[in-house]
Amino acid sequence: MKLFIYPILLFFLCLTPIISAADELLTSSDLPIVVINTNGQTIADEPKIEAQMGIIYNGQGVRNYLTDPFNGYNGKIGIEVRGGSSQNFPKKQYAVETRDDAGNDIDVSLLDMPAESDWILSAPYTDKTLIRNILVYKLSNDMGHYASRTRFCEVVLNGDYQGVYVLMEKIKRGKNRVSISSIKTDAISGDNLTGGYIIKIDKLKGQDTLGWYSAYSNYGKKIYYQYHYPKQEDIVAEQKAYIQDYINRFETLMKGDAYKDGYPAMLNTESFADFLIINELSRNVDGYRLSTFMFKDKDSKGGKLTMGPVWDFDLGFGNADYFNGSSISGWQADFSYSSDNNQIPFWWKRLRDDPAFQNTIRARWQVLRGDILKSERLNSLIDEMSGIAVEARARNFTRWPILGKYVWPNQFIGKTYDEEIAYLKTWIEQRVLWLDSQWLTCIPGDINGDGKTDLNDAITALRVCIGAEFASFICKNAAVSTDGKISLADVIYILQKVSGLR
């Protein structure tokens, strides 16, 4: 028994001075508290160092004290600094791997999220609302796609209070994350070779980033597709050849004249439409070209290339002062800065040039604006999310006194947190109205939304009236009646218009 108790007592004794040192700013919280002890080691950007982590979480609505026992997690972790440009901020982000006593990764549930071993401690800094990422992930989930689950917490590192963090799931394959088939090193033929894969488009991280360059370029710069799953150290030659060939065949198709008829067989078109909608709604300056993931399952399980999960939107929603990131009008997908090394894949423009894909987007936007992306609901979500960390954010901005100060690349600099939230709400309200004007506004009689009123509109309107199948997008505000309902009056109006009687 003594042999069992001794290491536990030693662990708590090691953490006692660390906990005490945080008392000046944090003694208790209505958020979970994450305490990390690196035992004097410096956390680097690779490799992970071994450290100890304890989580204090007494349940929803119950206060958490630094002196409470670690009941949310108590054990070893591997930890490293993560991120690209965010590494320049004093408030660091961390990748965390939960480990057993032998140092092997182990699946655990943290803060009621499904058990896994890989986690992110995201550190909102340039995003002074603290909620841009969790807002996007929530919307994507509501739209029917996996996006990382998130939980607010406060972090103490080696006795130093670090502020408000967001514990979130790292993007990886798994039944509770990107739910695609696992692929073993011996899967080198047949259906087993066809999935699953996760591919990433992002900045290169050192010279050891494994992947391949596209055969096509924008402004002389080629897209570099990176292996994400299987991991770079696990993927075998046959699997590399397969996924490269799939992407190459897709890109070759998209370069050809007949691409409009061919790509639906290779792509999960709805996922591409939703990915575009999220990136345009937020006007994400990194959109399409950085922090961009796509995946493919086995052919026997659908096997189409699917966009997502969405990731890294802290510079979205008007929070960037470059690349037109704060403009409420215009398309982020029209990114045309030839000097930047990270370009948007050419096939996004080809997709957007296809009327069928445009109709998919417009139909989807019309549905979303009536529910998930309703303006009132967006404001309600912002109020709900910003209300979670009211007490903790005061400590956060004491630790990091950045309100009222420029932090790269802020377009708006609010003097208070409330001003930051007001700006976010106003910017989104104006952005969705502009998107409405592009995707939902049609001239009278243009029922199919192709920019003109002709016999095709009369046929579509008639099919709607009799309950027959019709195209995916019906422009409701093109109806003659003010209630947006298509009726025989629209058929008559269109025929009169086409015949020159109007």
How many whole angstroms separate alpha carbon 169 and alpha carbon 182?
18
Question: Got the DSSP string for 207-245?
Answer: TT--EEEEEEEETTEEEEEEEEES-TTT--HHHHHHHHH
Question: Got the DSSP string for 262-308?
Answer: HGGGTB-HHHHHHHHHHHHHHT-TTTTTSSEEEEE--GGGT--EEE-
pLDDT tens per residue across span 339-381: 999 999 999 999 999 999 999 999 999 999 999 999 999 999 9
* pLDDT, position 493: 83
* pLDDT, position 370: 96
Please state, in angstroms and as integers, the Cα–Cα distance from residue 12 to each residue in 60, 181, 218, following that order: 25, 41, 56
* pLDDT, position 469: 67
Which residue would you say has higher pLDDT here, 19 or 137? 137
Which pTM does this prediction carry? 0.91
Q: Minimum mean pLDDT among 19-23, 128-132, 357-361, 400-404: which range?
A: 19-23
How many residues make up the chain in this entry?
502
Find tokens 């417009």 and name the residue: 362
Residue 103 structure tokens: 């140092």
Helix, strand, or coil here: 242? Answer: helix
* pLDDT, position 458: 84
Residue 12 structure tokens: 């708590």
Find tokens 């007592």 and name the residue: 9
Q: Is the pLDDT at 311 greater than 80, yes or no?
A: yes
* pLDDT, position 17: 41
150-157 and 211-218 as β-strands: parallel, antiparallel, unpaired? Answer: unpaired
Most confident of 86-90, 141-145, 447-451, 466-470: 141-145
Tally Cβ neighbours within 10 Å of residue 206: 7
Residue 260 structure tokens: 């409009």
The DSSP secondary-structure symbol of 355 reads H
Cα-to-chain-centroid distance, residue 18: 34
* pLDDT, position 399: 98
The DSSP secondary-structure symbol of 178 reads B
Q: Band of the pLDDT at 9, cuts 50, 70, 90? A: very low
Phi, psi torsion values for 88, nearest 5 degrees:
-80, -10
pLDDT tens per residue across span 18-46: 444 465 899 999 999 999 999 999 999 98
* pLDDT, position 23: 59
Question: Which helix (H) or strand (E) covers residue 81, if one does?
Answer: strand 73-82
Residue 225 structure tokens: 């597709």
Percent of the chain residues topping a pLDDT of 70: 94
Q: Band of the pLDDT at 470, cuts 50, 70, 90? A: low
Buried b (16+ CB within 10 A) or exposed e, 165-175: bbbbbbbebbe
Residue 2 burial by CB count (10 A; 0-12/13-18/19+): exposed, middle or buried? exposed
**165 and 34 Cβ atoms separated by less than 8 Å:** yes
Residue 410 burial by CB count (10 A; 0-12/13-18/19+): exposed, middle or buried? buried
Q: Band of the pLDDT at 11, cuts 50, 70, 90? A: very low
Tally Cβ neighbours within 10 Å of residue 413: 16
pLDDT tens per residue across span 210-258: 999 999 998 899 999 999 999 999 999 999 999 999 999 999 999 999 9
Q: Is the pLDDT at 171 greater than 50, yes or no?
A: yes
Q: Which of 476, 484, 482, 468 is nearest to 446 (CA)?
A: 476
Q: Is the pLDDT at 429 greater than 50, yes or no?
A: yes
| Mean pLDDT score across all residues of the chain | 92
User: Is the four-CA dihedral 66, 70, 76, 78 of positive or negative sign?
Assistant: negative
Q: Band of the pLDDT at 14, cuts 50, 70, 90? A: very low
Side-by-side strand order, sheet with 211-218: 211-218, 221-229, 197-201, 292-296, 305-307
3 state SS for 381-430: HHHHHHCCCHHHHHHHHHHCCCCCCCCCCCCCCCCCHHHHHHHHHHHHHH
**442 and 449 Cβ atoms separated by less than 8 Å:** yes
